[in-house]
Amino acid sequence: MLYAMKNKVDILCTVPVPQTLIDAVAAKGIDMDIVSLISIQRTGSKELQTEIEKLSGEALNVIFTSANAVEIVKGYMVKDGSKWKVYCIGNATKKAIEQNIGVNNIAGTANNASELADVIINDKVKDIVFFCGDIRRDELPVKLKNANIALKELVVYKTIQNEERISKVYDGILFFSPSAVSSFFSRNDIPPGTTLFAIGETTAEAIKTYTSNELVIGKQQSKEAMIDIMIDHFKK
């Protein structure tokens, strides 16, 4: 039963989600369209592949802030990375590390990149490798460099923005990354009544640069949690 929900709620989800989540939303009487606003393209150079193959057998401190980066790096590894001490953010990235590298490799986690930098600094790390995309925020690298931590960045994927014009008016829009936010607002405006949902603080900050619409921020960084908070919001 959909409690006090309006007769029809239209939602835009800006990433693909499993069919089970689509079915769960439909069961609540919500119409959800899915439009992918970004795509991921691995950089795939021979030099990068060779370097990751070499690093996979070394004792390293490494950073991941994206599940995409974890999965791409895993595809290039020739050894299991058992000597790695991994620092990461978010539920999705942490889960990807557990599945692809190992639970015991996780040395520290945080809710966002800035807080993760603080964890790394407090652990007195001397040097670290950051596997990232070509679009990433500056807080983490700047903090580490200011703390005199030797940082090596390896760009393992490119983010391609799908700057699609959306003609339909939605009651709510779900965003899962700052890149998707940028892609959406490059071609679109929203009416004051549209509620925006952000998977975390970093995505929320990106949204705030474009609009002052009502904003709901996820407490847990997963697609399932985002769907849950959206459903709960429109029950009111």
Q: Domain map of the chain by residue range? A: 41-159, 180-236
Residue 68 sits at φ, ψ, to 5 deg, of -60, -45
> For 41-159, which CATH class?
alpha beta
**Cα distance between residue 156 and residue 160, in whole Å:** 13
Q: What is the reported pTM?
A: 0.82
The predicted structure's pLDDT at residue 160: 93
H/E stretch holding 100: helix 91-100
Which token pair is 123?
């652990």
End-to-end CA distance of the chain: 13
**Cα distance between residue 213 and residue 24, in whole Å:** 26
The predicted structure's pLDDT at residue 26: 93
Residue 226 sits at φ, ψ, to 5 deg, of -65, -45
SS3 call for 57:
coil
Compute CA distances 126 → 63, 145, 159, 178, 223, whole Å: 13, 11, 30, 29, 35
Which class for 8: exposed (0-12), middle (13-18), buried (19 or more C-beta within 10 A)? exposed
One digit per residue, the tens of pLDDT, for the chain of length 236 reads: 343 445 689 999 999 998 999 999 999 999 999 999 999 999 988 999 999 999 999 999 999 999 999 999 999 999 999 999 999 987 789 999 999 999 999 999 998 889 999 999 999 999 999 999 998 889 999 999 999 999 999 999 999 999 899 999 999 999 998 999 999 999 999 999 999 999 988 889 999 999 999 999 988 778 898 999 999 999 86
The predicted structure's pLDDT at residue 201: 82
The predicted structure's pLDDT at residue 120: 98
Residue with the two structure tokens 């040395």: 107
**Cα distance between residue 199 and residue 13, in whole Å:** 12
